[in-house]
Amino acid sequence: MVGMTVLEELPTGATGRDRRRTELARFLKACRARVTPEDVGLVPGLRRRTPGLRREEVAQLAGVGVTWYTWLEQGRPINASEQVLLAVARALRLDGTEREHLFRLAGMAPSRFPQPAPPELSPSIQVILDSLAPLPAAVSNTRFDVLSFNGPYRSLFGTERMRPSHGAFFNSLWCMLVAPPCCNPCGNREESLPRMVAVLRAAYGKHVGEPAWEEHVQRLSARSEEFRELWARQEVAPPETWLRVFRHPEVGLLRLNATYLTMPGVQECYIVVYVPASAQDRERVERLGSLPPGGWTHTCEQ
């Protein structure tokens, strides 16, 4: 049900394995609903009440028994081999990120409990971030916690926005969800927010049942109906370059390509560099980098 998270729907004492099976069931149903019979060369027939494929059609395409697939989609404790999961992934037309997500939810990748402490970043990382100025740059993890940033990044979001959203770090997804329109720096929220939630969902597949991650998802769900609706779509995506648009009261509109760079030796963290999309954006980024430390502020209430 939209509006209820995994933590709310499962009974007290549910294990990480229980949570993964519940997530697996939801994911398979959502993927099945997105594939039409025409997509896979089947004749739709008459009086179809099911959006997308029927369970028996997925089973037929994957070469597995209908009962077995039904149990898999219901989250029952059954074993699935790598070969069978690949067949299901092909039947549902999953891409690479979705296929990896399916495998993790099915228990084909090791879980890590409890969640490790935030990584200790080398002092050289801050030097790298500062050297990238005037380009805004930050270190972000897959939950969108911002672990470190340079001056232009602070100027882009504003001094007040850089306060910790919850816990120890500023969280850019939280900021996008709760900032009022007058003070939200994101100018293409309708495109960026679904993408960020899909990246979070893909990362969550590696941490289902971990208290810190479950609490993070629950906190976002409790605060935002929009997040709950996006989370229920079961869409997953990798962290890769996409266009972000920002509004700044002094610089104006900025079109920047958020580019994710991996950090060797630091798991699930990226250096995110905001690269101007045009010559005009380059000029505005240079103006952004010349602003006094601290950036802009706002006084409206959240």
Please, what is the Cα angle at 189 between 187 and 192, to 5 degrees? 115
154 by Cβ neighbours in 10 Å (0-12 / 13-18 / 19+) ranks as buried
Q: Residues 130-143: pLDDT tens digits?
A: 999 999 999 999 99
Q: Among the CATH numbers 1.10.260.40, 3.40.50.970, 1.10.10.10, 3.40.1050.10, which is that of 6-105?
A: 1.10.260.40
Can you give the pLDDT at residue 159?
A: 55
Question: Range(s) for CATH 3.30.450.180 in the chain?
Answer: 123-289
pLDDT at 285 over 90: yes
CATH match of 123-289 with 3.30.450.180: yes
295 by Cβ neighbours in 10 Å (0-12 / 13-18 / 19+) ranks as buried
Can you give the pLDDT at residue 2?
A: 34
Can you give the pLDDT at residue 97?
A: 86
pLDDT at 51 over 80: no
Written as one string, the DSSP assignment of the chain is: -TT--HHHHSPTT--HHHHHHHHHHHHHHHHHHH--GGGGT----S---SSS--HHHHHHHHTS-HHHHHHHHTT-S----HHHHHHHHHHTT--HHHHHHHHHHTT-S---SSPPPPP---HHHHHHHHHTTTS-EEEEETT-EEEEE-HHHHHHH-TGGGS-SBTTBEEHHHHHHHS-TTT--BS-HHHHHHHHHHHHHHHHTTSTT-HHHHHHHHHHHHH-HHHHHHHTTT-------EEEEEEETTTEEEEEEEEEEE-TTSTTEEEEEEEESSHHHHHHHHHHHTSPTT--------
Can you give the pLDDT at residue 271?
A: 97
Phi, psi of 137 (to 5 degrees): -150, 150
Q: Indicate the range of 7-11, 49-53, 174-178, 219-223 predicted with least confidence.
A: 7-11
Question: Range(s) for CATH 1.10.260.40 in the chain?
Answer: 6-105
pLDDT at 7 over 70: no
Can you give the pLDDT at residue 258?
A: 96
